[in-house]
Amino acid sequence: MPGKAPNIIFTIKFSRASSRYLSYTERKEAVKNEQADPIKIEEDKELDGYLGYTDREAATLLEHDADGYPTFNDQSLNLNEAQHDELKDKLKEASDRGAVMWAGVVSFNPDFLKSSGVLSADGKEVNQPAIKRAIQQAMPGLLRNEQLNSPNTFWWGDVHLNTDHVHVHLTISQTKNTREVRDGQIVGAFHHKTFRQFKSQVEHALMSERERNVERENQVRITRLKGDLKDQVINEINLDSHQKQLLGIWQSLPNYRDQRYWRASNHSKRFKQSQALVNQLVDQMLKGPLKDDYQAYYQSLVKRDQLSRARYGQKIKDTVWKNDRALRDYLANRIYDHFREVNEQFTETKLIDRMQAVDLETNNQILDQKVKELKELEKADPEGKSAALWTLRRENGLRRNYIRQQNLKLANQDLTKLEAKLSKFPVTPAQKFILRRVKEEQEYNKLRYTPKWERAKHEGAEERLKQLTGQYIDPRNSSISKVTPEVAKQRIQSLDQLIKVIEHDPSDPAVKAVLPVQSKQGIAHVVRYYRAQQRLLANKATIHENNRKYKDNDEQKKTANRTYFAENALITNQYLDDPQKISEQLEQTALANDKLTERINALKRLPKSPTRNYFLKQLREQRLFNRLNNMPRWQRQMVPGREEYYQQLRLKHIQVTKVGDWSATSQLVAARKHNLKRTIEVIKQNPTDPAIKIMTPDDPDFGTDQLVAYYQTQRKYLDIQAQIRDNKVRYKDEDELKKANSRLYASSMQAKKEMEKVELIDNWVAKLKQANQGLPERQAALEKLPQGPIRDYFLKQVREQQEYNRLKFMPWWQRGKNTPLDKRLQELKLRYIDPRTMWPNDATPELVKTRTDEIAKVIGLMGKYPRGSAVKIMLPNPDSSYGVSNAIRYFHAQQQLLQLNGQIYLNNQKYPDDKDKQKEVNKRYYAQRFKYMALIDDGKLIDHQLDQELKDKLREKVDKVGRKARIGQQMNKFIGQLGKGLQAAQQEGRVRTQALKKRLDGEIDEFEEMDREESQGLER
Of 36 and 931, more confident? 931
Alpha-carbon distances of 1019 from 303, 874, 882, 945, 957, rounded to whole Å: 95, 21, 11, 18, 15
More confident residue, 571 or 389: 571
Reply yes or no on whether the pLDDT at 89 is more than 80: yes
Per-residue pLDDT, 490:
93
Amino acid in the structure at residue 265: S
CB 335 within 8 A of CB 249: yes
Q: Is residue 332 over pLDDT 70?
A: yes
Contact 932, 972 (CB under 8 A): no
The residues near 914 (Cβ < 8 Å, ≥ 6 apart) are none
| pLDDT exceeds cutoff 80 at 21 | no
863: enclosing H helix or E strand: helix 845-864
For the residues 922-927, what does the mean pLDDT come to? 83
Please report which helix (H) or strand (E) contains residue 114, including its range. Answer: helix 110-116
**pLDDT band at residue 71 using 50, 70 and 90 as cut-offs:** confident
Q: Fill in the DSSP letter of residue 169.
A: E
Cα–Cα distance for residue pair 875/130, rounded to 1 Å: 94
Considering 294-298, 382-386, 627-631, the range whose residues carry the highest mean pLDDT is 294-298
- What is the separation, in whole angstroms, between the first and last Cα of the chain? 105
CA distances for 929 relative to 516, 517, 526, 889, 900, angstroms: 12, 9, 15, 15, 7
pLDDT in tens, 387-430: 566 667 767 777 887 888 888 888 888 888 888 888 888 899 98
Strands 153-160 and 167-174, by their bridges, are: antiparallel
543-552, 606-615, 778-787, 971-980: segment of lowest average pLDDT: 971-980
Is the pLDDT at 88 greater than 80? The verdict is yes
Q: What is the pLDDT of residues 871-906, one digit of tens each?
A: 888 998 888 888 889 899 999 999 999 999 999 999
Res 934 pLDDT > 90: no
| Other beta carbons less than 10 A from residue 810's beta carbon | 17
pLDDT score recorded for residue 616: 92
**The amino acid at 444:** Y
Angle between helices 939-980 and 915-937 (to 10 degrees): 80
CA angle centred on 120, ends 119 and 123, rounded to 5° = 80
Which residues lie across from 104 on neighbouring strands?
A: 12, 170
pLDDT class of 125 with cuts at 50, 70, 90: confident
Cα–Cα distance measured from residue 172 to residue 48, given in angstroms and rounded to the nearest whole number: 12
| pLDDT 10s digits, 35-65 | 334 333 333 344 444 555 555 444 455 655 5
Give percent of the chain above pLDDT 90. 13
| List of residues 6+ apart from 535 with CB closer than 8 A | 567, 571, 632, 634, 635, 638
Reference 574, options 633, 521, 623; nearest CA is 633
Task: Look up the pTM and report it.
Answer: 0.42
* Residue length of the chain: 1020
Mean pLDDT for 339-352 is: 62
CB 643, CB 637: distance < 8 Å? yes
Nearest to 297 by CA among 231, 219, 234: 219
Instruction: Reduce the DSSP state of residue 367 to 3 states and report it.
Output: helix
Inform me whether the pLDDT recorded for 657 exceeds 60: yes
Contact between 908 and 940 (Cβ < 8 Å): no
The C-alpha atoms of residue 571 and residue 634 are separated, in whole angstroms, by 9
In this predicted model, which residue has the larger pLDDT, 561 or 408? 561
The arithmetic mean of pLDDT across residues 21-27, rounded, is 28
By the 8 A CB rule, do 168 and 157 touch?
Answer: yes
CA triplet 98, 57, 85: central angle to 5 degrees? 45
DSSP 472-523: H--TTTS-TTT--HHHHHHHHHHHHHHHHHHHH-TT-HHHHHH-S---TTTH
pLDDT mean across residues, the chain? 79
**pLDDT in the model for residue 699:** 64
Residue type, 832: Y
pLDDT at residue 718 in the model: 92
Map residue 108 onto helix, strand or coil. strand
In whole angstroms, what is the distance from residue 198 CA to residue 141 CA? 7
Q: Is pLDDT at 634 greater than 90 in this prediction?
A: no
Residues 6+ apart with CB under 8 A from 592: 626, 630
Question: Residue 849: which pLDDT band, with cuts at 50, 70 and 90?
Answer: very high
Contact 297, 233 (CB under 8 A): no
More confident residue, 314 or 102: 102
Please report the pLDDT score of residue 28 as a whole number: 30
Report the C-alpha gap between 496 and 479 in whole angstroms: 22
pLDDT value of position 715: 92
* DSSP H or E segment with residue 191: none
What would the pLDDT profile of 130-173 be if each residue is shown by its tens digit?
899 889 989 999 999 888 888 889 998 988 887 778 889 999 98
Please give the Cα distance from 852 to 863 (Å, whole number).
Answer: 16
d(CA 831, CA 836): 14
pLDDT at 541: 93
Residue type, 845: P
Q: What is the mean pLDDT of residues 230-253?
A: 74
Instruction: Give the pLDDT of residue 630.
Output: 75
- Of 254, 236, 235, the C-alpha closest to 245 is 236
**pLDDT above 80: residue 595:** no
Each residue's pLDDT tens digit, 378-396: 887 776 555 566 667 767 7
CA dihedral 320, 322, 323, 324 (to 10 degrees): 80
pLDDT of residue 970: 61
Instruction: Please write the tens of the pLDDT for every residue from 349-379.
Output: 566 677 777 788 888 888 888 888 888 888 8
